[in-house]
Copies of this chain bind each other. A is one copy, B any other.
Amino acid sequence: MNSEVRRTLEALKNGEISVDEAMLSIKKEPFKDIGYAKVDLHRGVLQGAAEVIYGAGKTPDQIAGIIGTMLENDVQTILITRFSKESAEYVMKFHKLDYRDDAKLGIVGEIPEPSGIGRIVVATGGTSDLPVAEEAAVTAEVHGNSVTRLYDVGVAGLHRLLSHMDEIMSASVIIAVAGMEGALASVIGGLADCPVIAVPTSVGYGASFGGLSALLSMLNSCSGGVSVVNIDNGFGAGYLASMINHIAPVK
């Protein structure tokens, strides 16, 4: 953003634009307002990366409209998260859509080729953590990452996890998804040599208190390299994992 300001200022100095135009330029919002939504376009347009629509609280009509605006602006890949099946079925009448029922996700356009530094591993403690894990995994894939899934490898059956040491040791980022006691993140953090993104889930009952137990457990991990996102925030974990997997020197 800073360099845009500089360009604007130089244009102003050169007399190419007026003071008010400069003011306006600085204020110009990098999104298209289509009434019921302000559609972010910059990243998809400029970098060829995916744009994301947070589906919760939007009507099927609104989602269809936003997709349309994005496509008109040459966005290549669109990810719709927290997207109900009913809503997706309606949107499919207008746009070609790859809907993933388990993760409540929709994808418009092509999933790009993996472009990251290495592989991302998504591991879960149990099968109930799958929806959150799939949200993370597909988010990472849509942002150009190769993803390996290790599901149902919770610490109650340690042999299942240890039988996947190869995948764990060769990951560049690991997303550990677990509810209940959330011990998976610490165990993986102790085994792996790469960043571990811990995602507590609301899976459990009683003293899990809607994911609080797993959350605290993960924050207190005694293993190095573990950080935590919000309860059930698969999208956030997948997005961050992709960011880490695409780190590059800034010129």
Contacts and interface: CB of A to CB of B under 8 A. Distances in A.
A86 interface: no
Interface of A: 1-3, 5-6, 9-10, 12-13, 15, 18-19, 22-23, 26-30, 37-38, 57, 117-119, 125-128, 152, 154-160, 162-163, 165-166, 169-173, 180-183, 186-187, 189-191, 193-195, 197, 200, 202, 204-233, 236-237, 239-240, 243-245, 247-250
In the assembly, how many copies of this chain are there? 8
B222 A211 contact: no
B250 A247 contact: no
Q: Which of A6, A15, A172, A216: most chain B Cβ within 10 A?
A: A216
Given A224-B236, A226-B240, A247-B247, A191 B9 contact: no
A155 B186 contact: yes
A222 B52 CA distance: 13
10 contacts: A3-B169, A6-B19, A27-B162, A29-B159, A155-B155, A155-B223, A157-B190, A205-B230, A207-B211, A224-B236
A42 to B, nearest CB: 11
What 9 A-B pairs come out closest when comparing CB atoms? A206-B231, A183-B183, A227-B227, A213-B216, A27-B163, A156-B190, A2-B165, A156-B223, A180-B220
Contacts of A205: 230-232
Nearest to A229: B227
Given A118-B249, A118-B250, 9 more contacts: A13-B19, A118-B248, A155-B187, A181-B217, A193-B243, A195-B244, A206-B232, A207-B219, A220-B230
A212 to B, nearest CB: 7
A220 B208 CA distance: 6
A197 B244 CA distance: 11
B219 A213 contact: yes
Contact of A181 (B5, B163, B222, B227): B222
A148 to B, nearest CB: 12
B244 A247 contact: yes
A202 B57 CA distance: 14
